């Protein structure tokens, strides 16, 4: 079983930022998971080094483009190393062998009269390295990035892309998983409703010398995209393992910014070459900072090194995969990252491990106790059922196969939540019955062993550290996923090795060292922290009395409340089910934000929000010192 996955090859005009890290981490998660499932994986990343953009960056630094590219690639390689990226190869478009293959492909298309010369008049956007027609540009600017375009009039070579328009539409329609997510597929089909032009694939050397010369006319170099896209194929010829046939790729992973070039330019080129198309193209969403595009000139460039140095590599990997459903856009915020570290990593996962190991140390002399099945209970079988067995493996595999990282992690954290609840509620350390204590501790330790396997693709160091602390002297990645998630792998009598705290808690408030970008991204730059009294007055805060409370089925966190606010009874959904049982809420006087836009949570309408504060352990709702009437305004 083979699996070939690629990231885009990144331009070397600048250093990589969190957006580049995002795609690369996602590709790494899939690669690690596939390897665990027994696939032989070829995971390719690399750099795109030709073209006007890189040429310009080199000139600005007083270097030749080649010197500039050579000096930049370690920025990528070092970041991937620091992020524990397990790529099998790193391609550079300046590699001799890549250049040779690009030239062979161009020659073939030219010989078959699929590339022709004609005069060209149009507009070029340097940052996007894209041509646009007169009709497409907007007020002299690129319709995509909004920056000024250059007018170009010259004799050029064209790839007859238009001839493949109908074939491509048919292919996309017949292969519904070719372009994902579905919204992106529909965008591409929408784009293909308009006539597709031919693709200008050359630049005269006197205008741009930094590119691969056309084999049939050395006065021209090839358009950077044609060179770049071929990397996915050329790498299979000189960088892939075992000298086997690796084309077509199973998965191209990229950002939505370059979906057209991949789904239209690359697909039609492959059709013209009579080559198979990649099996899947997945375009993920875009990270912004405070709603704005990230760039050095805007000063909101998020440098992954800074966060890895502060919080550790796995916290950053986890945040990127957990915070935003893959496919959607997200806004990067340091505060959100810190919250995730404290809640999901320190509180949920970290506590579960330290709690389990410390009880084993105290009550079982640091040895994994045996499992005594006859004393099973409901909670235990639920944990067991969720973690191991073919149904769990299938459910997880389907989420991973559809790149639903966010949901895959929620699935695991839901189980971690249940295990923490189990640890707390069976209060094992107070239990007199030795068998029940052993049984509970075995369930927690064995559950953690399996959790470590599930999280390994996302957080390889953490997964392995959990195994080490459980006393397992094996490497997770030397096992097969389906076998290793079978219940019972942990041997009784194993000596545990309590080690470092997995995720120390971090300060959630804005830190002085946070750059402007991060503070702003949390919407809390100094200026923004202060509001006027008029702005405060916009909030309609009312005293409410809770009349009715019930848990929302299938939700761990939500409770549905009926709140009397004097004039009416409001339905409000609150995320407090882990801190309160519904009965104890009845009769409490709370503060309700009564003019909040209504929202649906797990399909239940909520009209307002009750105020509460979080401690390390629980969420506590705000109430009043003395009796106040429902409906009174809170000022």
Assess 544 for contact with ligand ME8 (CB under 6 A).
Answer: no
Assess 10 for contact with ligand ME8 (CB under 6 A).
Answer: yes
Phi, psi of 617 (to 5 degrees): -90, -40
Pairing of strands 281-284, 589-593: unpaired
Assess 48 for contact with ligand ME8 (CB under 6 A).
Answer: yes
Assess 22 for contact with ligand ME8 (CB under 6 A).
Answer: yes
Phi, psi of 401 (to 5 degrees): -65, -35
**Min dist. Cβ of residue 313 to ligand ME8 (A):** 19
Nearer to ligand ME8, 231 or 469 (CB): 231
**Min dist. Cβ of residue 257 to ligand ME8 (A):** 5
CA within 13 Å, CB half, 336: 18
559, two tokens:
């409770």
Nearer to ligand ME8, 304 or 630 (CB): 304
Distances (CA, A) of 171 to 167, 178, 185, 189, 266: 6, 8, 12, 11, 13
**Min dist. Cβ of residue 240 to ligand ME8 (A):** 17
Nearer to ligand ME8, 294 or 313 (CB): 294
Residue 20: name the closest of 231, 333, 258 by CA: 258
Nearer to ligand ME8, 37 or 145 (CB): 145
Nearer to ligand ME8, 228 or 472 (CB): 228
Beta carbons within 10 angstroms of residue 369's beta carbon: 20
**Min dist. Cβ of residue 220 to ligand ME8 (A):** 20
Counting residues that bind ligand ME8 (by CB under 6 A) gives 19
Which member of 23, 290, 443, 521 binds ligand ME8 (CB under 6 A)? 23
Pairing of strands 287-288, 330-331: parallel
**Min dist. Cβ of residue 295 to ligand ME8 (A):** 9
Nearer to ligand ME8, 324 or 522 (CB): 324
> Closest residue to ligand ME8, Cβ-based?
19
Residue 157: name the closest of 200, 113, 193, 211 by CA: 200
**Contact pattern from residue 225 through residue 244 relative to ligand ME8, giving x for each residue in contact according to CB under 6 A and a dash for the rest:** ---xx-x-------------
Which member of 3, 4, 8, 592 binds ligand ME8 (CB under 6 A)? 8
CA within 13 Å, CB half, 415: 27
**Min dist. Cβ of residue 245 to ligand ME8 (A):** 21
Distances (CA, A) of 594 to 13, 540, 541, 606, 635: 51, 6, 6, 11, 13
DSSP string covering 550-588: EEPTT-SS-EEEEEE-SS-EEEEEES-TTT--HHHHTT-
**Contact pattern from residue 294 through residue 313 relative to ligand ME8, giving x for each residue in contact according to CB under 6 A and a dash for the rest:** x-------------------
Can you tell me whether residue 36 is helix, strand or coil? helix
CA within 13 Å, CB half, 444: 31
Binding residues (CB under 6 A) for ligand ME8: these are: 8-11, 19-20, 22-23, 48, 228-229, 231, 254-255, 257-258, 286-287, 294
């Amino acid at each position: 079983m083979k699996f070939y996955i690629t990231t885009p090859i990144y331009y070397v005009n600048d250093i990589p930022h969190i957006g580049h890290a995002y795609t690369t981490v996602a590709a790494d998660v899939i690669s690690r998971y596939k390897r665990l499932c027994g696939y032989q994986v070829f995971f390719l990343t690399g750099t795109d080094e030709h073209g006007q953009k890189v040429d310009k960056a080199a000139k600005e630094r007083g270097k030749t483009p080649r010197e500039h590219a050579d000096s930049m690639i370690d920025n990528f390689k070092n970041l991937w190393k620091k992020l524990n990226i397990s790529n099998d190869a790193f391609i550079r478009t300046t590699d001799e062998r890549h250049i040779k293959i690009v030239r062979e492909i161009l020659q073939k298309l030219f010989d078959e009269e699929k590339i022709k010369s004609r005069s060209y008049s149009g507009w070029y956007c340097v940052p996007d390295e894209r041509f646009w027609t007169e009709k497409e540009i907007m007020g002299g600017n690129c319709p995509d990035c909004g920056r000024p375009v250059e007018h170009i009039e010259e004799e050029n070579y064209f790839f007859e892309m238009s001839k493949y328009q109908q074939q491509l539409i048919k292919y996309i329609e017949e292969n519904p998983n070719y372009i994902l997510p579905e919204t992106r597929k529909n965008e591409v089909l929408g784009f293909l409703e308009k006539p597709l032009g031919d693709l200008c694939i050359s630049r005269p050397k006197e205008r741009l010398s930094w590119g691969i010369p056309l084999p049939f006319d050395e006065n021209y170099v090839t358009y950077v995209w044609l060179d770049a896209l071929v990397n996915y194929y050329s790498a299979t010829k000189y960088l892939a393992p075992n000298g086997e046939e690796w084309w077509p790729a199973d998965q191209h992973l990229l950002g939505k910014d370059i979906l057209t070039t991949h789904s239209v330019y690359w697909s039609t080129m492959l059709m013209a070459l009579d080559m198979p198309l990649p099996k899947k193209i997945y375009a993920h969403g875009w990270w912004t900072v405070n709603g704005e595009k990230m760039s050095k000139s805007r000063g909101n460039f998020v440098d992954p090194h800074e966060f890895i140095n502060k919080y550790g590599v796995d916290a950053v990997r986890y945040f990127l995969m957990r915070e935003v459903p893959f496919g959607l856009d997200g806004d990067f915020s340091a505060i959100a990252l810190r919250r995730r570290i404290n809640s999901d990593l320190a509180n949920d996962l970290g506590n579960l491990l330290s709690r389990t190991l410390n009880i084993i140390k105290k009550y079982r002399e640091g040895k994994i106790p045996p499992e005594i099945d006859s004393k099973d209970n409901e909670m235990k079988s639920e944990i067991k059922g969720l973690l191991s067995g073919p149904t769990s493996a299938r459910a997880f595999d389907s989420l991973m196969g559809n790149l639903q990282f966010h949901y895959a992690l929620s699935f695991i954290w839901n189980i971690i939540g249940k295990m923490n609840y189990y640890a707390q509620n069976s209060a094992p350390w107070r239990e007199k019955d030795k068998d029940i204590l052993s049984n509970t501790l075995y369930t927690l330790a064995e559950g953690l062993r399996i959790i470590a396997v599930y999280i390994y693709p996302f957080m390889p160091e953490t997964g392995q550290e959990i195994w080490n602390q459980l006393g397992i002297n094996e490497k997770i990645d030397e096992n097969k996923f389906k076998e290793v998630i079978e219940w019972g792998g942990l041997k009784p009598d194993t000596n545990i090795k309590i080690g470092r705290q997995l995720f120390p808690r971090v300060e959630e408030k804005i830190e002085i060292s946070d750059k402007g970008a991060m503070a702003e991204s949390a919407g809390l730059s100094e200026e923004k922290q202060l509001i006027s009294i008029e702005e405060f007055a916009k909030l309609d805060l009312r005293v409410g009395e809770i009349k009715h409370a019930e848990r929302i089925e299938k939700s761990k966190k939500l409770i549905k409340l009926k709140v009397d606010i004097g004039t009416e009874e409001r339905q409000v959904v609150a995320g407090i089910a882990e801190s309160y049982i519904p009965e104890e809420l009845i009769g409490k006087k709370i503060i309700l934000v009564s003019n909040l836009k209504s929202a649906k949570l797990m399909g239940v309408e909520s009209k307002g929000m009750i105020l509460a504060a979080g401690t390390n352990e629980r969420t506590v709702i705000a109430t009043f010192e003395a009796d106040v009437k429902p409906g009174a305004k809170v000022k």
